[in-house]
Structure 1
């Protein structure tokens, strides 16, 4: 059964007690006597000797409870901090708080200022210049501008992760200063691996952002992930190598220079082509996949938007030998693409995939989903949003359970299945086969921790009975179960509560067979047995 409530560790109880009494006791004297009178370089007090990791945990705890104040930040921003996240209290973070961080927190390696829009740009520049040891930085939704990025590029040479999404003061040209210092005449941020620039778009009637993104890709030698919706356009420009028309700002190296430098640095590689070390890319159009494959042969994670065309995908995907995480999105297509069309692709690369997400596919061929599962035995995460027509293909509807060869998924931890346009498909061949596939997957995935099922057209009572009885290893590690708009009764819920698992969260959204009295009975059982389980229902 789900875990019983356990006594929290003493360390956690102490931190919760401090958080509870922070305003009335720990911060009272400072608030009453010093908060608005002085700005102290250091504060000798109860938290100045506390381990940095405990201060980080206390800040996180108080942020989650929304009880951080200006006085608390003054007391908890201490020199021993190595990580600091203020995204839970962006309205409190002013120029004064930023100056305190700049002076005190010289050991910071990770700083999260997401949404802290009250910090003026000059304070952000001072902060970047004062924290050269940063390896992870989040400036999304701040007043970050060209000067701030210039300071980041010049001073934060150890930076590995940077998020500057949704910064309204940034222009495409601002990004050039992140990768190159025109004053020193040198490239910057050699260690940067992850860069998020969501929300930045090309200026009116111009493709300047495409060229700037190409500049970043060529100038940042360690870049593994660049998140921007126009990344594919930049990769296509690099593939075509038509650099002469690039409108790069004077004082910065041309794309031709950067490309030559990249080619000379990779002279030992066998491939004569210009390639990039990108490991991740999102929202690649199906048409651009061949060019992206050529420029980024080492991709491990890719999201592809399928189009109305019916070109085969097999040959294109074969060159991605390192691909482990794949998303295929057909939701924007005018007509659904049949799931059986990607089976040849899965036959070739399914064995190397650890994560697979499918959206907007038709699974009217009743064996296509089960066949696909057989091609992907090493999955850790599987998410599928499928459409079924609910029309039997031949003769009378098939009754009972389909007999299917079982597939084993020893590493599968996260499974999600959403069905659409089903109507009443209880007796359809597709539904019977799908039910058998679901039972097989749940029964032969011993590592499952998270299961989300939505709009399934058959009784899940029968599914869980088949999976859990007789007792075995099935669902023993299950922590999170969501059953949205599914045909499931309280009988299945009680069966789960009696089974051997680690269930902490059970969501029963809009399940028509579960009523208020069933929900109340489940809550009473959870309370009576002191289970560490949250049940949500509406």
Structure 2
């Protein structure tokens, strides 16, 4: 009954808080906070995570949040992301001084103060970071992405005030050795540290951190830090015995550093390396000492050979995930060694390793029966026989990615379709030997397929997609550049995939309004559509589409001569959830621009 509260007098605070802690989305929390003042106060106590973008003043936002949400444990501040914050935060309650007096959304020339001072209001400063440390005493996870104004002063404040810190991400922050040393001295529970693009650091800071909190550290990432050398990795190997994850991207790291980590961190499970000066000697040590290794990613290695993979295959029996990218001196012999020794392998990516061919992948198909995801990118020497072996041996394969594999065609896909009936994701780009036969086989056999991307496969046409529409219910479809696909193929998809949410049909010259009408009728859950360069689609088809697809959030339709100002206005007016429309500027009327200016992105053609 209106005016009678049947909940609050009965439920204690502890029970309501317990309910709030089980809510899985911010919108649910926000809705509960609007019920009454008691729920608002309790909901604030239940918040454990806040995220701040670049709009307005991050320092002021931090001060506001620190007063309102006292139990926050996770803080994410990313200056690459913008957020929408109203200029007026609402009427101030009596006694509530927690509005943002200096919140700025746009820099206005001519106001008092220097331009630099105005622009700095968009960046988190040491004052804001100090407020984080002093306001969130229970802080366990702090992420500062590209916060360029933060220095040692702010990081020292975090270290002194947040002794329970377990995860620290400083990507792109120009902090120095003193701040990192303070973290090592005060944050003895630190487990996860990301120092990617921290150009101000040297070995001094990382060595002192390793000494200070090395016993707890489990994950470390370093990239583009020119002054961090093997000296730091030797300290990590000596003091961080519990290290499980290491990611290195540096031309200043050599064998000495990686050897120290391999010998000292025997619990290592994840190793990602892009170090052009590391050779076989270091990777052989990984194979000998890191027997718990589960994931190995090697990028742009030009100084090691099959000896390294032979050592990995011999020693790392628990390896499940292997990525080989631009490793020019690897051959089939190395991949055969991995197949023979690492039978638990579930994920394999081979990218631009031009000496790896059919026989290496055949060995994977014969030995790694638990393989669930396979990616072959720019592998010109791998032929149909390799995927035929994968089809016979890897019954649990769920995802297959093929990019620029000129020797792989329909026979390979037929083998995959017949053997890997649990396939859920198939992504193919510029594999010109793939045609209708292979895709028809996928449609007839892979009933669980939900994600299909065929980009610039110009031998695939309507016949294949009629089979896909009859056999599979897709959620995601990309057929950009498949010139032979027209209305018949897309209509079949519309009738067979009622849960389709993403569709890219760009550069389909034969696609017209009939397909758009069928998509509107058959795919009410569609959220994102790309129609660019579709010359036959007009305002009529677009109107049919948006009439039923009320959940549409983004629409790209550049270079569609049949779509006019009226069509763009129809999309804007019909789709309440629309967030992005990409179109030529000349097709947006002043009225549409006033109605949905921030939603519209323009293709720059006015040269």
Instruction: Compute the displacement of 1:462 (Å).
Output: 2.0
Match for residue 502 of structure 2? Answer: 480
Instruction: Compute the displacement of 1:175 (Å).
Output: 1.9
Distance 1:69-1:318 versus aligned 2 partners, 3 A rule: same
Distance 1:68-1:457 versus aligned 2 partners, 3 A rule: same
Listed as ranges, the matches of 1:283-362 within 5 Å are 283=324, 285-287=330-332, 288-293=334-339, 296-305=342-351, 306-307=353-354, 311-312=358-359, 313-331=361-379, 333=380, 337-338=382-383, 340-362=384-406
Match for residue 137 of structure 1? Answer: 193
CA contact (8 A) 2:202 2:227 kept: yes
What's the TM-score once normalised by structure 1's chain length?
0.69
What's the TM-score once normalised by structure 2's chain length?
0.62
Cα distance in 2 for residues equivalent to 1:403 and 1:356:
16
Cα distance in 1 for residues equivalent to 2:348 and 2:536:
39
Match for residue 507 of structure 1? Answer: 530
Matched residue of 2:421: which SS? coil
Cα distance in 1 for residues equivalent to 2:323 and 2:219:
17
Match for residue 47 of structure 1? Answer: 66
Distance 1:22-1:215 versus aligned 2 partners, 3 A rule: closer
Cα distance in 1 for residues equivalent to 2:440 and 2:53:
58
Q: Which has the higher contact order (CA 8 A, sep 6+)?
A: 1
Cα distance in 1 for residues equivalent to 2:78 and 2:439:
50
Instruction: Compute the displacement of 1:513 (Å).
Output: 3.8
Instruction: Compute the displacement of 1:359 (Å).
Output: 1.8
1:195 and 2:246 are equivalent in the alignment: yes
Match for residue 119 of structure 1? Answer: 175
Match for residue 246 of structure 1? Answer: none
Q: Which runs of 5+ in 1 are unaligned?
A: 1-6, 31-42, 182-187, 203-207, 244-254, 264-271, 393-397, 423-429
CA contact (8 A) 1:223 1:277 kept: no
1:527 and 2:545 are equivalent in the alignment: no
Cα distance in 2 for residues equivalent to 1:103 and 1:418:
53
Instruction: Compute the displacement of 1:531 (Å).
Output: 3.9
Cα distance in 2 for residues equivalent to 1:297 and 1:144:
41
Match for residue 596 of structure 2? Answer: none
CA contact (8 A) 1:330 1:359 kept: yes
Match for residue 589 of structure 2? Answer: none
Match for residue 180 of structure 1? Answer: 238
Match for residue 315 of structure 2? Answer: 274
Cα distance in 2 for residues equivalent to 1:214 and 1:499:
58
Could you tell which deviates more after superposition, 148-157 or 405-414? Answer: 405-414
Cα distance in 2 for residues equivalent to 1:402 and 1:276:
36
Instruction: Compute the displacement of 1:456 (Å).
Output: 0.6
Instruction: Compute the displacement of 1:530 (Å).
Output: 3.3
Cα distance in 2 for residues equivalent to 1:431 and 1:25:
51
1:407 and 2:426 are equivalent in the alignment: no
Instruction: Compute the displacement of 1:311 (Å).
Output: 4.8
Match for residue 487 of structure 2? Answer: 461
1:148 and 2:170 are equivalent in the alignment: no
Cα distance in 2 for residues equivalent to 1:377 and 1:232:
43
Cα distance in 2 for residues equivalent to 1:388 and 1:64:
41
Q: Deviations over 1:23-80 (max 9, x none)?
A: 699939x9xxxxxxxxxxxx8x7624505559737x4699533945435444444223
Cα distance in 2 for residues equivalent to 1:127 and 1:84:
12
Cα distance in 2 for residues equivalent to 1:350 and 1:223:
28
Q: Deviations over 1:252-311 (max 9, x none)?
A: xxx9xx948969xxxxxxxx9533544322216343212334564443322224535755
Match for residue 431 of structure 1? Answer: 460
Distance 1:323-1:167 versus aligned 2 partners, 3 A rule: farther
Cα distance in 1 for residues equivalent to 2:463 and 2:175:
57
Match for residue 378 of structure 1? Answer: 422
Q: For the aligned residues, what is the CA RMSD?
A: 4.4
Distance 1:413-1:167 versus aligned 2 partners, 3 A rule: farther
Instruction: Compute the displacement of 1:347 (Å).
Output: 1.8
Cα distance in 2 for residues equivalent to 1:415 and 1:91:
40
Q: Which runs of 5+ in 2 are unaligned?
A: 1-25, 35-43, 45-50, 84-104, 106-121, 293-312, 538-559, 584-602
